[in-house]
Amino acid sequence: MTKKFNPYIWFLFICLSILGICLFIIPVGTPDGLKVPVAIFANGLSAKVVSFIHWFAYVVFIIAAVGSIVMHFVPQSGKVTIFDALFRTRLFWTIMRVLAVIFATLYLFQTGPEAFTSENTAGLLLNPDGGLVTMMFSLFLFAGLLLPLLTDFGLLEFFGSMMVKIMRPIFKIPGRAAIDCLASWVGDGTIGVLLTNRQYEEGNYTAREAAAIATTFSVVSITFCFVIVETAGLSQYFLQFYGTVILVGLILAVIMPRIYPLRNKPDTYFDGSSPEAHREDIPKGFNVFSFGLQNALEKAESNKNLLKVIGSGFKNVLEMWFAITPVIMSFGTIALILAEYTSFFKVLGMPFEPILQLFQIPFADDAAQTMIIGFADMLLPSILGAGIESELTRFFIATVSVTQLIYMSEVGGLILGTKLPLKLWDLFVIFLIRTIISIPIVALIAHLIF
C-alpha cells in the first residue's frame, strides 16, 4: 500500500465489516429454521409490537400521503431537505401513497367490500401478526441502521477487486456485487434490494448493474423456501428443490443481464454520469489483494465519524418507512385482489397449458393457472397447486414460483418503492421471461427426480 492508516481505521474496516457479515450473511439456527441475525432481530421486535404495529403503519401511511400532497404545492428550494427526501414525489407515487391509506382504512376498520377487508388480500400485508408490511417496519429499522456495516467500512471495496474477474464476465456486474448477491441468497431478498438501492444511490452501481442485481439475485430466504415446500407437501424433497432453485437461478443470472429489458437500461450512474472505461483495472504496483485493501481502508477512513454514519442510518430508516412501505401496501393489495377475486391471472396463465403439455407435466391445465399468479405473491402458486395429485407437478409449480423471483406483495413492491431504475412493466416482463426460461429446465429436472 502507498498510504499508511492508523489503527482506528483498521479497526473500522476489520471489526465492523466482520460484524456486518455476521449480521447479514451468516445464518444461525432458530426454532423456525435458519435465519440471519438481522431477520431474527426483526422478528423479535415484531413480536413485541404486535399489539400496535398495524396502527403505527397506518399513521405512517397517512403522514406519507398528506406530506406528499402538501409538497406538490410547496416550491422546491435550492437545498434538498429531509422533507424533500421523504415527501417530494411525482404524482403517480403520491397516488400510490393515498391508495395505501385507503386500503389500510378499509382493512383496519373492516368496512367496504370483502376484497379489501379479507385476510387474503390487505390482511396478508397489514395483519399485525405476520403481515408483510408490518414485518417490513421492523426489518427496515434494523436494515437501515446496520446496512452501513456492509457498505460504509470497506467490505465491498475489499472484495470488489478480487471478485471482478468472476462477476463481470459471467454476470455483467461489478465485483463488489458479490457481497450484495450473497446477502440476498443467504439472508433475504429484501435485504439484497435495500443494499443494491443504497449502492446505486451512492454511485457504486450503474442503472443497468443495479437493475440486474435487484432482479436476479434477490431470492427469498431459505426459511421461506421451507414454507413453500411444506405448502406443496414436498418436505422430503427439499434438497432436490433447493438445488434446482440454485441451478436455475445461476443460469438465469447469466442470461437475464444480456437480454431485454435489463440490457437496455442505461449504463450510467444515479447522477447521470458515465462510468470510466478502466474503473476496475488494477493500477500498476498493486495486486488484487493490496488494491482491494487500499480501497477498503480509504472507504473506512471516509466514514470515521460514526455519529454521522448513525445519523445517516436513521435517515435511511425514515425514507424506507415513508417511501417504500406505502408502495408495497398499494401495489400488493391490488395484485392480491386480482389474484383472489378475479380470473385475471388465470386467463393470463392459459397460454402456458400447451407448453406444459409439451413438457409432459401432469395436470397441465391446473398447473398453467399458477404460472402467472405468482406475480402477485410467491406462495399463491403452491397454495393453489397443493391439491394436485402429482408430486412431479407440485414440485414443478413450487420450484418455478421461486425462480420467477419477482412478486408484488414483497420484492416487486419494494423495488418500485426504491430509486432503482425499474418500472412495473419491466418487472412483469422480467417475471415472464424468467418463467419461460425456467419451465423447460425445471421440467427436465422434475422428470429426472420423479
C-alpha 207/C-alpha 210 separation (Å) is: 5
Q: Are 166 and 119 in contact (CB under 8 A)?
A: no
C-alpha 318/C-alpha 295 separation (Å) is: 30
Nearest 5 degrees, angle CA 204-CA 208-CA 210? 50
Looking at residue 187, what is its pLDDT?
62
Q: Dump the DSSP string for 149-201.
A: HHHSSSHHHHHHHHHHHHHHHHHSS-TTHHHHHHIIIII-HHHHHHHHHHHHH
The alpha carbon of residue 71 and the mean position of all alpha carbons in its chain are separated, in whole angstroms, by: 28
Q: Are 422 and 214 in contact (CB under 8 A)?
A: yes
Q: What are phi and psi of 43, to 5 degrees?
A: -65, -40
C-alpha 296/C-alpha 38 separation (Å) is: 23
The alpha carbon of residue 21 and the mean position of all alpha carbons in its chain are separated, in whole angstroms, by: 18
C-alpha 340/C-alpha 331 separation (Å) is: 14
Task: Kindly report the pTM of this predicted structure.
Answer: 0.82
Q: Are 394 and 234 in contact (CB under 8 A)?
A: yes
Looking at residue 188, what is its pLDDT?
67
For residue 34, the 8-state DSSP code is E
Q: Are 346 and 365 in contact (CB under 8 A)?
A: no
C-alpha 28/C-alpha 211 separation (Å) is: 30
C-alpha 130/C-alpha 385 separation (Å) is: 23
Q: Please report, in tens digits, the pLDDT of each residue of the chain (450 residues total).
A: 567 889 999 999 999 999 999 998 888 887 877 778 888 898 899 889 999 999 999 999 999 999 999 999 988 877 778 888 899 888 988 999 999 999 999 999 999 999 999 998 999 889 888 777 888 898 889 988 998 898 889 998 888 888 888 888 999 999 888 887 777 766 667 888 988 999 999 999 999 999 999 999 877 767 678 778 888 989 889 889 989 999 999 999 999 999 999 999 999 999 999 998 777 788 887 888 888 899 899 999 999 999 999 998 898 899 889 988 998 899 889 988 998 899 998 899 999 999 999 999 999 999 998 999 999 888 889 888 888 999 999 999 999 999 999 988 778 888 998 899 999 999 999 999 999 999 999 999 999 999
Residue 28: beta bridge partners?
35
Would you say the C-alpha torsion 198, 203, 208, 212 has a positive or negative sign?
A: negative
Looking at residue 186, what is its pLDDT?
63
Looking at residue 391, what is its pLDDT?
95
C-alpha 351/C-alpha 382 separation (Å) is: 19
The 10 Å CB-count burial string (b at 16+, else e) for 173-204 is bbbbbbbbbbbbbbbbbbbbbbbbbbbbbeeb
Residues 6+ apart with CB under 8 A from 139: 38, 39, 42, 188, 190, 191
H helix intervals, 379-423: 380-385, 391-403, 411-417
Looking at residue 1, what is its pLDDT?
57
Q: Using CA atoms in the order 89, 94, 100, 103, what is the torsion angle rounded to 10 degrees?
A: 180
Looking at residue 233, what is its pLDDT?
87
Number of H helices and E strands in the chain, helices first, is: 26, 2
Q: Are 24 and 150 in contact (CB under 8 A)?
A: yes
C-alpha 10/C-alpha 16 separation (Å) is: 10
Q: What are the cell numbers at 124?
A: 396478508
